[in-house]
Chain A
Amino acid sequence: MINDPNQEPLSDTFEANREGDDLNVRHMHEAILREKDDPRDGYEPIPLWLVSLFMALVFWGGAYLAFNSGGFQADVFNPSQVSWAGGGGGPKAPPDPLVVGKRLYTANCVACHQVTGQGVAGQFPPLAGSDWVVGGDWHGDNHLVNILLHGLQGPVQVMGGTYNGAMPAWKQMKDNQIAMILTYIRNEWGNEATPITAEQVAQMREENLDRREPWTQAQLQAIPAKTLNESVGSELPPSEDGELMDGNEPPDAAVVEAEGSQA
């Protein structure tokens, strides 16, 4: 159907041939006959206000780009930063346990114990004002560290309420991380207690190296309370048989790596 474009146009003979045309071709030609010319351009000038707007936008754009590009560096990610005054050199200050402990708590513990340290009724015990955290009654610092290391199972009595969630073990965290979290919770929400150090955590970890299951309240109560400024005693109840249970599975290697990084 594609005609040679060099052929003479058909217009001269068009009218003569119209009579015998196929109905469809005629009607298609109706549409074409009534069509207007192909679009053409007018030549109105560009309005001055548009040019001004363009210039103004270019000026704004340039200034915005200059001030919000972080010096065009590849490692500056916040556009509000003028440039990164990097902190590579010099000895690193030891991390502040209250700051880093809070960060670790927010990242790992709030799902259950909540930002307010209030826990969830019936499931996750509160930490605010709790003897389990600051010590008192039968509770010692060693119990607290043990809970973080190995977790807790079964019903527990906290501040007059019963809670039956399952706390997973956090032994995959480094000693100093556990220490900072505990220091933080012992000094937040009105709590006041001595800090816990990484060495103390390491010692408790060493003493219960074989433990596989989370503690029950009864098992913890069987251990004499110790504030960990004193050296911890050597005799502890034998650990349970090595059966693995839910919530205490060996963590993913990736999680271990990630958790192990220091501030």
Chain B
Amino acid sequence: MSATITMEPTSTVALPDVDKSLRAEIDASTRLPVVLFYGSAIFWLLVGTGFAMLASFKMNDPAFLDQWGWLTFGRVRPAHLNAVAYGWASSAGIGTSLWLMARLCRTPLRHAKLLVSAAVFWNIGVLLGIYGILAGDGRSIEWLEFPNYASAILFVSFGLIAVWAVVMFRFRQPGHIYVSQWYLLAAIIWFPWLYSTANLLLNFESIQGGAQGAVNWWYGHNALGLWFTPIGLATAYYLIPKVLGRPIHSYYLSILGFWTLAIFYSWNGMHHLIGGPFPAWMVTASVVASMMMFIPVITTAINHHMTVRGNFGALKWSPTLRFTVFGAMCYTLASVQGSLMAIPTLNSVTHFTHYTVGHSHLGLYAFFTMIMYGAMYYILPRVVGWEWPSARLIRWHFWLVAIGIVLMVVVLSIGGILQGLALLDPEITFMATLDYTKPWLFLRSGSGILLTAGHIVFALSFVLLLLKVGSPKVQPTLFASQGEDKPEPLSL
């Protein structure tokens, strides 16, 4: 049966029409936890960006601020990763998940105090962890650099969140479980399992070195694929149809996408170690799993694309939609790139180079962070009770970060490939391979400046929103006023 592309769904299961006032109640009940998590996230975004710029400048000029041990590159770089991964991305993801779960479970948020405690613990944990890294207690295990005293606190915090989530699901309104809820439930279950296992085996009581790499990258890749990706996809699956008022293209594709992701993604970890000291079958299994990822990725891409199709014009006005669709497209791009990078022939070029760094930013920034921006632009007005004060700030934010991240990924990819090809040729001395990368690293610092500016603009926007600056608005703040030719009022 060939795919018949229809604009109208062939059938829909109508959700019980939620009373608008119930929605208001839900939004009000989520206010404190969401604002706390979002506020923390934006704080850590600025901190993490600061560390990123330091690290990037130090690669351009190694003498930059090199008199202090606490600012040495080997500490600033993991401080950046942890600040943006656990500080920004996880907090933003948790804040978004709370609101989504409350809305999708169609019940006001219960036990907000649990979440407030979780937010406090989370921030303490990240703060202690970053301090520990700069002080020299970093473990030098990628994605798990936090010393034990910090990771334990994070785990406690997450335990509170997981308990809260289980209670929410328990008390949800009966009925159809929407695809976003599958992803959120999965993320809530997978992440603490990942985090506790990895920390127990690598940090608290470390197993022999030969096995560590496997556990390390089982964790590292799954933090991306089974924590951030499900939250990002859940958000996109909610916001895209919600803003457009159209159904998700295909329930069956949603099912296929979810289960193939669950089955294949978790086996990808070893593709960080191709050619490395591990049994051949483990590496090969990861290569196969990485290629199989084409299925969930293409599935999700079709689902999203066909949902938006015909309505791309809305991207001109809606910040939520523009950020979210940008992110969703970059999800496809990053995943396809990742699958290709796992092919051993290509991997022998890109492994150990800046190409990998570009890829990770394509994933965590261009996909996940952009979707989080989209979520924040949608959710914050609702929980705060005030529309975004300045359309100009939103425009600046979008263009600065969009151009910044595209530039960053492009220059790191080019530099990385040149570096990789040079590394493959034993006639080229090692020092010469470095020379290939230097101009691209300078350009990367330039892209970082754009991103930093974008983050400052966004933080400013957020603060003005919290302070409820300006006059109250009835219409949402869009990129540009819709004017005479607007098709219909956008619900944003």
Which of A2, A42, A61, A76 has the most CB atoms of chain B within a 10 A radius of its CB?
A: A42
Does B285 touch A at the CB level, under 8 Å? yes
A1 touches B489 (CB 8 A): no
Kindly supply a per-residue 1/0 record for chain A positions 31-46, scoring 1 wherever the CB is within 8 Å of any chain B CB and 0 otherwise. 1111111111111111
A32 touches B382 (CB 8 A): yes
A42 touches B249 (CB 8 A): yes
Kindly supply a per-residue 1/0 record for chain A positions 43-73, scoring 1 wherever the CB is within 8 Å of any chain B CB and 0 otherwise. 1111110100110011011001100111011
On chain B, the residues within 8 Å of A34 by CB distance are 476, 489, 491-492
Q: Which of B3, B109, B180, B292 contacts A58 (CB 8 A)?
A: B292
B2 touches A48 (CB 8 A): yes
Docked complex: A1-15 residues within 8 A CB-CB of B: 1-3, 5, 9-11, 14
Q: Complex Cα distance A38/B181, Å?
A: 13
On chain A, the residues within 8 Å of B474 by CB distance are 27, 30
Q: Which of A9, A24, A30, A78 contacts B280 (CB 8 A)?
A: A78
Q: Complex Cα distance A48/B294, Å?
A: 15
On chain A, the residues within 8 Å of B10 by CB distance are 42-44
Size bracket of the A interface: 35 or more
Minimum CB–CB distance from A147 to chain B (whole Å) comes to 28
Size bracket of the B interface: 35 or more
Q: Which of A10, A44, A73, A81 contacts B306 (CB 8 A)?
A: A44
Determine the main DSSP class of B at the interface with A: helix
B108 touches A77 (CB 8 A): no
Does A74 touch B at the CB level, under 8 Å? yes
Does B159 touch A at the CB level, under 8 Å? no
On chain B, the residues within 8 Å of A60 by CB distance are 291
On chain A, the residues within 8 Å of B110 by CB distance are 2
Does B329 touch A at the CB level, under 8 Å? no
Q: Complex Cα distance A174/B283, Å?
A: 37
Q: Complex Cα distance A73/B279, Å?
A: 7
On chain A, the residues within 8 Å of B17 by CB distance are 37
On chain B, the residues within 8 Å of A24 by CB distance are 385-386, 472
Q: Complex Cα distance A144/B183, Å?
A: 71
Q: Complex Cα distance A177/B15, Å?
A: 79
On chain B, the residues within 8 Å of A252 by CB distance are none
Provide a sorted-by-A list of 29 A–B residue pairs whose CB atoms are within 8 angstroms.
Answer: A2-B25, A2-B112, A10-B21, A11-B20, A14-B21, A28-B382, A29-B24, A31-B382, A34-B476, A34-B489, A34-B491, A37-B17, A38-B15, A38-B178, A39-B240, A39-B241, A39-B242, A41-B179, A41-B247, A41-B248, A43-B12, A48-B1, A50-B256, A58-B292, A64-B284, A64-B288, A65-B281, A68-B284, A68-B287
Q: A residues near B, CB below 8 A?
A: 1-3, 5, 9-11, 14, 23-25, 27-48, 50, 53-54, 57-58, 60-61, 64-65, 68-70, 72-79, 81
